[in-house]
A and B are shown apart, each in its own frame.
Chain A
Amino acid sequence: MELQLNEAEEAFRREARAWLQAQLDGPFKDLQGRGMSGAQDTYVEERIAWSKTMGAAGWNCIGWPKELGGRGCTIKEEAVFNEEYVRANGPGNVGHIGETLLGPTLIHFGSPEQQKRFLPPIVSGEEIWCQGYSEPGAGSDLANVQTKATLVGDEWIIEGQKIWTSGAHYSDWCFVLCRTDSEAPKHRGISYILLPMRQDGIEVRPIKQMGGSSEFAEVFFDGAKAHKDHVVGGINNGWKVAMGTLAFERGASTLGQQYLFQKEFEEVVAVAKRTGAASDPVFRQRIADAGIGLKVMRVNALRMLEHEGVDLNREALISKLYWSNWHRDLGKLAMDLLGPEAELLDGAPYELTGMQKWYLFSRADTIYAGSNEVQRNIIGERGLGLPKEPR
């Protein structure tokens, strides 16, 4: 079951595969599989070096237009590259927030000056970005952000707090949703501001997750400064910009992600065979259900990727809800198959096995980037035209 590729696309696949193999079996061999979900706070410096190497060879931001430093790849080619990347066991992309969220936002909403200043260092891997959206009082209700930005002379002065900010402790820049008009209705008084992270007035406190690692952080702003011109899409227009960002996730990463899921599923099957659970009828049903679910996910993705329109089709709307549930269930199945052995760590003080890591991390899948409940609202309202809840 493969994406339908023409000759040029096949050639592209071979080129990507050859380059990745040469690097990841060569100078970057030790980085294979490092810094993935659950361990994104590890091997940071090495992964930044890797990102710069990727950038120099033209493999970062390949879906961006050529004039902005990209390769002008189609979504299919992007999907192919992502698949090859995972196949080559490439490390977690330390620059993914800049590449997949900020970059497309600037391309769509940014001024020419902003594009010129900020896009090249994302492509080259020299500047790492984080996303300042969630706050203690603004999770699913994102428009409730309270972090305040006040224009003083040529600078925005920022006060407040963000939370769940992935990679805040090693990022150079942050795009922050700030309240710039506290009188306006809550969706209309927000601005999207670009803020340097390495300055006085910002304190980052990493948050330890249930798996023991610290991939995200709390970020406190106490007089942090941003340049007056670093507002994207206009003052008080930040909500529209932020919502636009959501639509940029076109699903190019799904094939790569599914390749990872396939590997995890195979590990689960191997456990079932080793422990003898494979002969238990109830486990056989659950394993088959997961296997069928994975195949269906792949066809969903291929249908989504072959969809030609610019609008998000139904396959795209259901994608996050589907995979996050599937992955969470697989984690539970893995632990159930292990039985009492599921409890045993690799070692003290808290060395999780690989399977335990993704089992625990899968509980975050249904929460971040729009919880299941938010996803269902979006599917219901955008996909089915059901009325919004009165607010």
Chain B
Amino acid sequence: MEFSFSEDQDELRRAARRFLAVASSEERVRSVMETEQGYDSTTWERLSEELAWTALTIPEEYGGLGMSYLDLHPLMEEMGRSLLCSPFFSTICLGANALMLGGADLHKERYLPGIAAGETTATLAYAEKNNRMDAEGVEATYSRNGTGYILRGGKSYVVDGHTAALLVIAARTENSNGSKGVSLFLVPGDTEGLRRTWLPTMDQTRRLASIELSDVVVPHDALLGEEGRGWALCERTLDLARIALAAEQVGAAEMCLDMAVEYAKVRKQFGRPIGSFQAIKHKCADMLMMVESARSAAFYASALAGQGEADLEEAASSAKAFCSDTFFHCAAENIQIHGGIGFTWEHPAHMYFKRAKATETLFGDPSFHRERFARRMGL
């Protein structure tokens, strides 16, 4: 494994930063985050059609570019840095990953070309109102119905769940428990019996939705992967999503550091820049230490994810725990260093602070991942 980004990856980052400086400027983010859809369709078209970001990790035989998960990393950092409001994360890191990991050829042929082209958005619906992040949290059920299945119950905290064209839904057979009996189903968003509701959230830059499943009938080929083995597939998909999310957190945390440093250089008190006071300088130094270390954690996980069969659990949990803590710390310190102005609606510091909290909780908070790490190491 190489431990630095390649020249191509650096170029991808620079191109992304240029594009997002305009397409996801603070002004654009503020206007998009007020809408129910939660993203700007024009930007979505441009990043999928002009820039081919949606095609990046999709295999070439399904209309993609067949690039590695590590190639995605600099993009995720830049999206986090600019608080891009977009179904990219849900579509690629949840939906497409689930399909690539568990899909039969027929599933891949049916959905991946549309995803690569930016025509199909997708997401994963596994969590529910019970707030659990493990297999026990899956309470929605399925049963056989002639040649297909019937899904019943509800889902919550579904990223972009109210707009996604394709939902990957986790459900279990009645009377099963734990990871046994869980299966994943591919369910188009317009299927009869689905009721999808936007859940307004404190962080306005990413949408969550709840889904009611009232006797949703799906055909037999809606089953993704093996029946009853869906939890392992779900976990593997989540680990990939956690890694991408961690990269996003690194970029956003670094933006908080950059904002704080910039301000500390120009804001004067007692006749000198506040950044010349050790009280402020040392906060910034700690932020830099955390940001670079978080980048190491996420980089390693992204690189490992590109190596096919690698065991991702430990790396994903390390990255998610470390990067979540880093982002929250940096977002909070950024507000503190800005003082009063950092507490206003007008200043963007709160947008990062809110996103930090939202990403910290998504797919398991740091405590959840440290516990998972502890179990992995045999404790």
Secondary structure dominating the interface of A: helix
Question: Which of B1-9, B43-51, B135-143, B175-183 interfaces with chain A?
Answer: B1-9
Q: Is the CB of B284 within 8 A of A384?
A: yes
Across the interface, A306 reaches (CB within 8 A) one of B2, B272, B317, B377, namely: B2
Q: Is the CB of B377 within 8 A of A296?
A: no
Question: Which of A156-164, A279-287, A357-365 interfaces with chain B?
Answer: A279-287
Q: Is the CB of A287 within 8 A of B379?
A: yes
Q: What is the 8 Å Cβ interface bit string for chain B, positions 264-276, against chain A (1 contact, 0 not)?
A: 1100000011011
Contacts of B371 in A (CB 8 A): 281, 284-285, 288
Question: Which of B103-111, B288-296, B341-349 interfaces with chain A?
Answer: B288-296
Q: Is the CB of B322 within 8 A of A292?
A: yes
Per the bound structure, the CA–CA distance linking A375 and B288 in Å amounts to 12
Per the bound structure, the CA–CA distance linking A306 and B2 in Å amounts to 8
Q: Does A117 contact B (CB under 8 A)?
A: no
Looking at the assembled complex, report how far the CB atom of A42 sits from the nearest CB atom of chain B, in whole angstroms.
34
Q: Is the CB of B297 within 8 A of A269?
A: no
Q: Does A116 contact B (CB under 8 A)?
A: no
Within 8 A of A (CB), among B67-126: none
Q: Does B131 contact A (CB under 8 A)?
A: no
Contacts of A293 in B (CB 8 A): 322
Q: Does A49 contact B (CB under 8 A)?
A: no
Per the bound structure, the CA–CA distance linking A317 and B374 in Å amounts to 30
Per the bound structure, the CA–CA distance linking A281 and B374 in Å amounts to 10
Q: Is the CB of B299 within 8 A of A303?
A: yes
Q: Is the CB of A384 within 8 A of B285?
A: yes
Q: Is the CB of A299 within 8 A of B299?
A: yes
Q: Does A2 contact B (CB under 8 A)?
A: yes
Q: Is the CB of B284 within 8 A of A380?
A: yes
Looking at the assembled complex, report how far the CB atom of B287 sits from the nearest CB atom of chain A, in whole angstroms.
9
Q: What is the 8 Å Cβ interface bit string for chain A, positions 180-192, against chain B (1 contact, 0 not)?
A: 0000000000000
Per the bound structure, the CA–CA distance linking A317 and B276 in Å amounts to 19
Known: A2-B1, A314-B288, A321-B289. A288 touches B296 (CB 8 A): no
Looking at the assembled complex, report how far the CB atom of B119 sits from the nearest CB atom of chain A, in whole angstroms.
38
Looking at the assembled complex, report how far the CB atom of A255 sits from the nearest CB atom of chain B, in whole angstroms.
12
Q: Does A6 contact B (CB under 8 A)?
A: no
Q: Is the CB of A303 within 8 A of B296?
A: yes
Per the bound structure, the CA–CA distance linking A292 and B322 in Å amounts to 8
Q: What is the 8 Å Cβ interface bit string for chain B, positions 291-323, against chain A (1 contact, 0 not)?
A: 011101101100000000000000001100110
Looking at the assembled complex, report how far the CB atom of B98 sits from the nearest CB atom of chain A, in whole angstroms.
26
Per the bound structure, the CA–CA distance linking A19 and B273 in Å amounts to 56
Per the bound structure, the CA–CA distance linking A306 and B317 in Å amounts to 25
Q: Does A385 contact B (CB under 8 A)?
A: yes
Per the bound structure, the CA–CA distance linking A299 and B297 in Å amounts to 7
Looking at the assembled complex, report how far the CB atom of B334 sits from the nearest CB atom of chain A, in whole angstroms.
13
Closest to A383 in B: B288
Q: What is the 8 Å Cβ interface bit string for chain B, positions 1-44, against chain A (1 contact, 0 not)?
A: 11110000000000000000000000000000000000000000
Looking at the assembled complex, report how far the CB atom of A9 sits from the nearest CB atom of chain B, in whole angstroms.
14
Per the bound structure, the CA–CA distance linking A147 and B212 in Å amounts to 79
Contacts of A2 in B (CB 8 A): 1
Contacts of A178 in B (CB 8 A): none
Q: Does A243 contact B (CB under 8 A)?
A: no
Looking at the assembled complex, report how far the CB atom of A190 sits from the nearest CB atom of chain B, in whole angstroms.
24
Q: Is the CB of A386 within 8 A of B3?
A: no
Contacts of B280 in A (CB 8 A): 386
Q: Is the CB of A300 within 8 A of B377?
A: no
Known: A299-B299, A381-B281. A4 touches B289 (CB 8 A): no
Q: Is the CB of B293 within 8 A of A322?
A: yes
Q: Is the CB of B289 within 8 A of A318?
A: yes
Looking at the assembled complex, report how far the CB atom of A382 sits from the nearest CB atom of chain B, in whole angstroms.
10
Contacts of B296 in A (CB 8 A): 296, 299-300, 303, 315
Within 8 A of B (CB), among A295-321: 295-297, 299-300, 302-303, 305-307, 314-315, 317-318, 321
Contacts of A292 in B (CB 8 A): 297, 317-318, 321-322, 370, 373
Contacts of B374 in A (CB 8 A): 284-285, 287-288, 291
Closest to A379 in B: B285
Q: Is the CB of B293 within 8 A of A386?
A: no
For the complex of A and B, the 8 pairs showing the least CB-CB separation, nearest first, are: A299-B296, A380-B281, A288-B370, A379-B285, A376-B285, A386-B275, A376-B282, A387-B276
For this complex, 7 residue pairs linking A to B, each with C-beta atoms less than 8 Å apart, are A2-B1, A296-B294, A299-B297, A303-B4, A384-B288, A386-B273, A387-B272
Q: Could you list which residues of chain B lie within 8 angstroms of chain A, going by C-beta atoms?
A: 1-4, 257, 261, 264-265, 272-273, 275-278, 280-282, 284-286, 288-289, 292-294, 296-297, 299-300, 317-318, 321-322, 367, 370-371, 373-374, 377, 379
What 13 additional pairs, Cβ within 8 angstroms, besides A318-B289, A386-B261?
Answer: A281-B371, A284-B379, A288-B370, A291-B377, A293-B322, A296-B297, A303-B299, A306-B2, A322-B289, A376-B285, A380-B281, A383-B285, A386-B264
